[in-house]
Structures are given as C-alpha cells and as structure tokens.
C-alpha cells in the first residue's frame, strides 16, 4: 500500500501540490484570493476523495453568514478568511480526510478560479500487502 500510495502521490504531484498531515494532528489549507475590484465574492471549499464526487465543505456567499455543510459542521473543522486568504483547518486529521481539497473563488459576475491540494495523511496504521498477495498454487 505504501508503495502504491507513493506512486499515486508522485503521479498526482504533477497535477496538484501535496500537503502532508500526521494522523491525529492538525492541517491548514490556505487559499490565496485574487484581488477584487468590487469586493463582492464567493469562496467555496470542496473535498474530493478518490473515486468520489466533490463534496462541499464550506461556503462564503456575499451577505450570507459563512457556513459548513452538515457533514463537516463539527468541532474537527474550522474555516477563516480575510481580504487576501481563506484558510480551511482540520484540527484532528483522520485517514478518511485524505483526498483533494479545492478552493473556488468567484468574483461577482466572473468565472470561478480554482486551486487545489492533495492531502496525504501519514500515520502508523500501515496496512500490509502480504495478506493480499498470498502465494497460492506456488511452485517453489
Ligand atoms: C491563514 O493561515 C496562515 C498560516 O497558518 C496564517 O498565517 C493566517 O493568519 C491565516 N489567516 C486567516 C485569515 O485565517
Ligand atoms: C492583504 O494584502 C495586502 C498587500 O497585498 C496588505 O497590505 C493587507 O494588509 C492584507 N490584508 C490583510 C487583512 O491581511
């Protein structure tokens, strides 16, 4: 698994940057926001797991209180923003948090700008491949 994961991450690194977190530890993703003319803007954070669709995590919409989607509305997640950046923080990372995190920025009446990073969670729960690659009908 480690090797396959490494190859996968290596392959992926060509497409999006990789952020590493330690299992149980915190991680913060920072999205640098373009300068706006109007100051009217939407910010979205999305998560994409392997083989899964995009899930909305957090939304900031003009004149509406920023909010988390129900699935992420708990004490593990925090989001913050100012004029220049938006931060998404996972306070205690677990293995299921691995995936691509996308930040989407939309200025009023403009196209959305996307940035993303792959979150790699490093833990000590190394699953061995030996159980799967057992030798049967072997002639040694
Ligand atoms: C975003 O995160 C960076 C790095 O952790 C920090 O320096 C900055 O103050 C944060 N900004 C906001 C708006 O949360
Ligand atoms: C945003 O960045 C500009 C420079 O690019 C700086 O002058 C300003 O203080 C920053 N604003 C915040 C809230 O950090």
Residue spans per domain, the chain: 2-122
pLDDT given at position 137? 52
Indicate the pairing of strand 112-122 with strand 18-22: parallel
pLDDT given at position 10? 58
Q: Looking at the CA of 80, which ligand is closest?
A: 1
Ligand 2 atom closest to Cα of residue 83: 13
User: What spacing in Å lies between the alpha carbon of 123 and ligand 2's midpoint?
Assistant: 36
pLDDT given at position 138? 52
More confident call, 19 vs 4: 19
pLDDT, average across residues 100-125: 85
- Residues 84 and 13: beta-carbon distance below 8 Å: no
- Residues 88 and 81: beta-carbon distance below 8 Å: no
Residue 48 tokens, joined: 């994409």
Query: Considering only the top CATH level, what class is 2-122?
Result: mainly beta
Q: Is any atom of ligand 1 closer than 6 Å to the C-beta of 84?
A: no
Ranges assigned E (strand) in the chain: 18-22, 27-32, 41-48, 54-60, 67-68, 77-81, 85-90, 99-107, 112-122
Question: Considering the chain, what is the average pLDDT of its residues?
Answer: 81
pLDDT, average across residues 89-95: 95
- 5 phi/psi in degrees, rounded to 5: -60, -40
pLDDT given at position 1? 52
Q: Is any atom of ligand 1 closer than 6 Å to the C-beta of 19?
A: no
């Amino acid at each position: 698994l480690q090797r396959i994961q490494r190859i996968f991450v290596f392959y992926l690194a060509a497409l999006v940057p990789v952020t590493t977190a330690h299992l149980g530890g915190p991680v913060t993703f920072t999205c640098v926001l373009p300068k706006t003319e109007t100051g009217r803007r939407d910010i979205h954070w999305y998560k994409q797991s392997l083989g899964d669709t995009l899930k909305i995590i957090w939304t900031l919409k003009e004149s509406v209180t920023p909010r988390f989607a129900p699935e992420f509305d708990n004490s593990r997640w925090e989001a913050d923003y100012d004029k220049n950046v938006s931060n998404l923080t996972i306070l205690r990372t677990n293995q299921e948090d691995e995936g691509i995190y996308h930040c989407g920025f939309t200025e009023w009446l403009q196209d959305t700008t996307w940035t993303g990073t792959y979150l790699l969670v490093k833990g000590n729960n190394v699953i061995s491949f030996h159980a799967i690659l057992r030798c049967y009908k072997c002639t040694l």
